[in-house]
Amino acid sequence: MQPAGISLPTKEESTVDRAEKKVAVAALNDVFKTTSVVVVARYSGLTVAQMQNLRRQMRAAGATVQVAKNRLAKIALDGTSVASVGPLLKGPTLIAYSDDPVAAPKVAVAFAKDHEKLVILGGAMGTTALNVDGVKSLATMPSLDELRAKLIGLLMAPATKIAQLSTAPAAKLARVFQAYADRDAA
């Protein structure tokens, strides 16, 4: 006999729920296989507005934040290179990930500085497990786009110098000819 007001799930409801869980595990498994960095943090005490702000900041940086059931996330971690984050999944945790190895850690660390309720637990970059200090040091590195800009700047600098040097003698000759022309006219 069941207590009043409580209904047990029917067989149809439990199979739909099981199918949804399989889809969620498969999606998380794809994420763990394709991303280059995963950050795990505890979010207990954050308001809905703060979580939305975190999601917005992550999206702007090219990263994603996801709250998943720890049990399902641990199942999804099996067979992936970031399986080392499994023991961190206890209590109310969120997963931040990105293709750029610096984007998710950078936003997570910056957000944690402003909001003490977000506590970074660790993460993984490929097969390398990261502790809190590892995530923080990864966050201080320049992003992939910043590195590309610096590299292009370094490559362009010598070309600019060569262009300046090749045009400088012609400009000097033009000034000398102009000086002779002005002297002859006077």
What CATH number is attached to the domain comprising 119?
3.30.70.1730
Convert the pLDDT of each residue in 65-84 to its tens digit: 999 888 988 888 888 888 88
Q: Is the per-residue pLDDT at 111 higher than 90?
A: yes
Question: Does 21 share its domain with 99?
Answer: yes
Question: Does 42 share its domain with 113?
Answer: yes
Q: Does residue 6 lie in a domain region? A: no
Q: At 1, is the pLDDT very low, low, confident or very high (cuts 50, 70, 90)?
A: very low
Task: Indicate the burial class of 41 (C-beta count within 10 angstroms; 0-12, 13-18, 19 or more).
Answer: buried
What share of the chain has pLDDT > 70, as a percent? 82
Q: Is the per-residue pLDDT at 185 higher than 60?
A: yes
What does pLDDT average to over the chain?
A: 82
Q: At 96, is the pLDDT very low, low, confident or very high (cuts 50, 70, 90)?
A: very high
What share of the chain has pLDDT > 90, as a percent? 22
Question: Does 148 share its domain with 125?
Answer: no
Question: Does 24 share its domain with 76?
Answer: yes
Question: Does 128 share its domain with 164?
Answer: no
Specify the pLDDT at position 4: 54
Instruction: Look at residues 2, 82, 97 and name the one whose alpha carbon lies nearest to residue 41.
Output: 97
Q: At 36, is the pLDDT very low, low, confident or very high (cuts 50, 70, 90)?
A: confident
pLDDT higher for 177 or 55? 55
Specify the pLDDT at position 54: 93
Average pLDDT over residues 1-14: 53
The number of folded domains in the chain is: 2
Judged by phi (left if over 0) then psi (alpha if -120 to 50, else beta), residue 73 lies in alpha
pLDDT higher for 90 or 10? 90
pTM here is 0.68
* CA–CA gap between residue 121 and residue 118 (Å, rounded): 9
Token couple for 134: 């590892």
Q: Does residue 3 lie in a domain region? A: no
Question: Does 120 share its domain with 184?
Answer: no
Contact 73, 95 (CB under 8 A): yes
Q: Is the dihedral of CA 95, 96, 102, 108 positive or negative?
A: negative
Question: Does 50 share its domain with 100?
Answer: yes
Specify the pLDDT at position 29: 87
Residue 63, domain extent = 11-141
